[in-house]
Amino acid sequence: MADVLLTVGTRKGLFIGRRRGGAWEFDDSPYFNAQAVYSVAIDPRGPSPRLLVGGDSAHWGPSVFHSDDLGRTWTEPSKPAVKFPKETGASLERVWQLHPAAAEPDVVYAGTEPAALYRSEDRGESFSLVRPLWEHPTRSKWVPGGGGEGLHTVLTDARDPRAVTVAVSTAGVFRTEDGGASWAPSNDGVSAVFLPDPNPEFGQCVHKVARDAADPDRLYLQNHWGVYRSDDAGAHWTDIGGGLPSDFGFSVVAHPHRGGTAYVFPITADSDRVPADHRCRVYRTTDAGETWEPLSAGLPDEDHYGTVLRDAMCSDDCDPAGIYFGNRNGEVFASADDGDTWRQLASHLPDVLCVRAAAIG
| DSSP characters over 332-344 | EEEESSTTSS-EE
Residue 361 has pLDDT above 80, yes or no: no
Largest CA distance in the chain: 55
Mean pLDDT (whole number) for 49-74: 96
Could you give the C-alpha distances from 290 to 14, 79, 187, 254, in angstroms and in order? 37, 49, 21, 15
Q: Name the amino acid, one letter, at 330.
A: G
**CATH at 78:** 2.130.10.10
Confidence category of residue 55, pLDDT binned at 50, 70, 90:
very high
What is the end-to-end Cα distance of the chain in Å, rounded?
12
Q: Is 134 helix (H, G, I), strand (E, B) or coil?
A: helix
* pLDDT tens figures, 289-329: 999 999 999 999 999 999 999 999 999 999 999 999 999 99
Mean pLDDT estimate for the chain: 96
What's the pTM value of the predicted model, to 2 decimals? 0.97
Which of 225 and 29 is assigned the larger pLDDT?
Answer: 225
Alpha-carbon distance 153 to 109, whole Å? 10
Confidence category of residue 250, pLDDT binned at 50, 70, 90:
very high
Residue 146 has pLDDT above 90, yes or no: no
When divided into structural domains, the chain yields a total of: 1
Confidence category of residue 28, pLDDT binned at 50, 70, 90:
confident
What dihedral angle (degrees, nearest 10) is formed by the CA atoms of 4, 347, 268, 225? -40
Check residue 21 and give its pLDDT. 86
Check residue 11 and give its pLDDT. 97
Contact 326, 338 (CB under 8 A): no
Full domain range(s) for residue 163: 2-357
Residue 330 has pLDDT above 80, yes or no: yes
Residue 222 has pLDDT above 90, yes or no: yes
Q: Is 236 helix (H, G, I), strand (E, B) or coil?
A: coil
Confidence category of residue 147, pLDDT binned at 50, 70, 90:
confident
Q: Name the amino acid, one letter, at 152.
A: H
Share of the chain above pLDDT 90, in %: 94
Check residue 223 and give its pLDDT. 98
Confidence category of residue 359, pLDDT binned at 50, 70, 90:
very high
The DSSP annotation for 141-204 comes to G---BTTBSEEEEEEEETTEEEEEEEEEETTEEEEESSTTS--EE--TT---TTSSSSS-SS--
